[in-house]
Amino acid sequence: MKLTRRMMMGVAMGGYLLSAGAAMAKTELTFWSWRQEDKAFYNEIIKKFQEKEPEISVKFETYAPENYQTILSTALAAGRGPDVIQARAYGNLETIAAPGYLLALDKQTVPELANFPEPALAAETLRSDGKVYAVPFATQTMLVIYNKKIFADAGVKPPQTWDELIALSAALKAKNVTPFANGTATAWQNETIVAALLSSMLGKQFEEDIASGKANFTDPRYVNALSKLKDISQYFAPNFIGVDYASSQQLFAAGRAAMFAGGSFEVANFKAQNPALDLGVFASPVAKPGDERLIARYYDGGYAVNAKSDKTDAALKFVRFLATPEYGTAFTNALKNLSPIKGIKIEDPLTQEVAKLADNSMSYLMLVRFRYQEPSGSVLLQSNVQKMLAGQQTPEQAAAEINKGIATYYKPFQK
C-alpha cells in the first residue's frame, strides 16, 4: 500500500514536472511595429493565433513612427531586434533586406504568399536578388474623403471634373465652410495631397512615360498638374502654410471642414475621433469628362522575420497566420484598412467603396519608383511643393528642382 502511494505520488510529481517543463519551453516571440494606434487590434489577433498555436506567445511592441526605422535598423545591425518585424515597403525595405537582416521568404516556407497579387509581393521584394522578404499587410489609396452632411447642407455633390471641384470649393467657401482641412506645414503631407488630387490629371500614360524615360518631371503634364494644385490651395485650411498634419486631422474630424485630401488610412482615425461622422470618398477629378479617373495606390509594408532570430520556426508560423484570408478579413474590418490578401470579405460599405476605387489606379509615384536612392523623389516632391504653395517657387521651378534631384541617379533623366 505504501509502495502504491509512493508510486502515485511519483507519477503525480512527474506529471507536474512535465507540465512545468512544457510551460517553460513555451516560445515567446517579439513583434515590433510603428502602428501604435493598432495595438488593441494586434493584441486581439495574437490571442487568436495563440488559440491555434498555444505553445507560442507573442509580445507586441510599438515605437514612434518617425523613429521606428532608425531604432529598427540600429537593433538589426547589432544582431538583435525582434523576431517578427513590421517592415515598411519599397526603398525602406531594401535598407534592412540588402544587408541580410531579414529572412528570405518563398512559397515553400510561406505557402500563403500565393494569397497575394504580384504587385503587392513586388513591394516586399529586394530588387538585387528578386526575393520576397515580407508578407504584405495593407493596400493604401490616395483619394478625397468628404463629410456627407456638410455636402448635403450646402447642396453640393462630389465632383467629377477639376472645374467642378473648383466650383464646389468656391460654393462651400461662400457659405463660410472650409472646403479642405489640409495644411502644408508637415512636409510629407504635400506628397499625399499631390497624389489624392492630381492622379487623374497625370494619368497612367504619364507614369509609363516616366518609367520608360520618354518623359521627365519637367513635362507639361506635370507642370500643369502642379499649377492646378496651386489654384486649389486657396481652398485649404485658413493660413494652411502653418497648419500641420495633426491640426488638419482635427479640423476635419471635428466637422469643421468639408474635405480631406489624403489616404484611405485616415478613415478609421476620423471615425474613432468622431463616430457621428458620415463619410464618403471620391477619386481625384479628371481634367475633362471622359478622361480616366484614378486613385494612387501603394502597398504599405509587410511582416518579416529577423534572419538572426533563434525562433525562426515559430516566427514563420506567426507570419503565415498573418498571410491568411482569415487575418486579412479581420484586419480590413477592424481597421477599415484594405488588406491585399485575396478572398477577404469586406463588411463596411465605405471600405467596399475604397476597394472599388482601388481597382482603377496608378502608382503612388515617388514612393513606388523613386524612394530607393538619395535624394529621394518623395523628399524632393514634399519640399518643393511646400515651397510652391508658400509662393516661393512657380510650378515650373518646383518641377525643375524635383527633376534635377532625381536626375543625379536616374539615367533616363540624364539624356
Q: How many Å apart are CA 196 and CA 23, to the nearest integer?
A: 51
Backbone angles phi, psi at 224, to 5 degrees: -60, -40
Backbone angles phi, psi at 129, to 5 degrees: -120, -5
Between CA 194 and CA 197, with CA 195 as vertex, the angle to 5 degrees is: 70
* Tens place of pLDDT per residue across the chain (415 aa): 444 555 444 544 445 444 444 445 699 999 999 999 899 999 999 999 999 999 999 999 999 998 999 999 999 999 999 999 999 999 999 999 999 999 999 999 999 999 999 999 999 999 999 999 999 999 999 999 999 999 999 999 999 999 999 999 999 999 999 999 999 999 999 999 999 999 999 999 999 999 999 999 999 999 999 999 999 999 999 999 999 999 999 999 999 999 999 999 999 999 999 999 999 999 999 999 999 999 999 999 999 999 999 999 999 999 999 999 999 999 999 999 999 999 999 999 999 999 999 999 999 999 999 999 999 999 999 999 999 999 999 999 999 999 999 999 999 999 8
Which long-range contacts link 106-111 to residues 24+ away (Cβ below 8 Å)? 106/131, 106/132, 109/316, 110/135, 110/316, 110/319, 110/320, 110/323, 111/320
First to last CA, the chain: 97
Max CA separation in the chain (angstroms): 99
Cβ neighbours around 100 below 10 Å, total: 11
Provide the CA 355 distance to its chain's centre, in angstroms.
Answer: 14
Between CA 340 and CA 346, with CA 343 as vertex, the angle to 5 degrees is: 80
- List of domains in the chain: 25-138+300-323 (3.40.190.10), 140-298+358-414 (3.40.190.10)
Q: Helix, strand or coil for residue 84?
A: strand
pTM, entire model: 0.90
pLDDT at residue number 4: 52
Cβ neighbours around 44 below 10 Å, total: 12
Residue-wise burial string across 263-301, b where 16 or more C-beta atoms lie within 10 A, e elsewhere: bbbbbbebbeeeeebebebbbbbbbeeeeebbbbbbbbb
Question: Residue 145 burial by CB count (10 A; 0-12/13-18/19+): exposed, middle or buried?
Answer: buried
Backbone angles phi, psi at 54, to 5 degrees: -65, -15
Q: Are 266 and 189 in contact (CB under 8 A)?
A: no
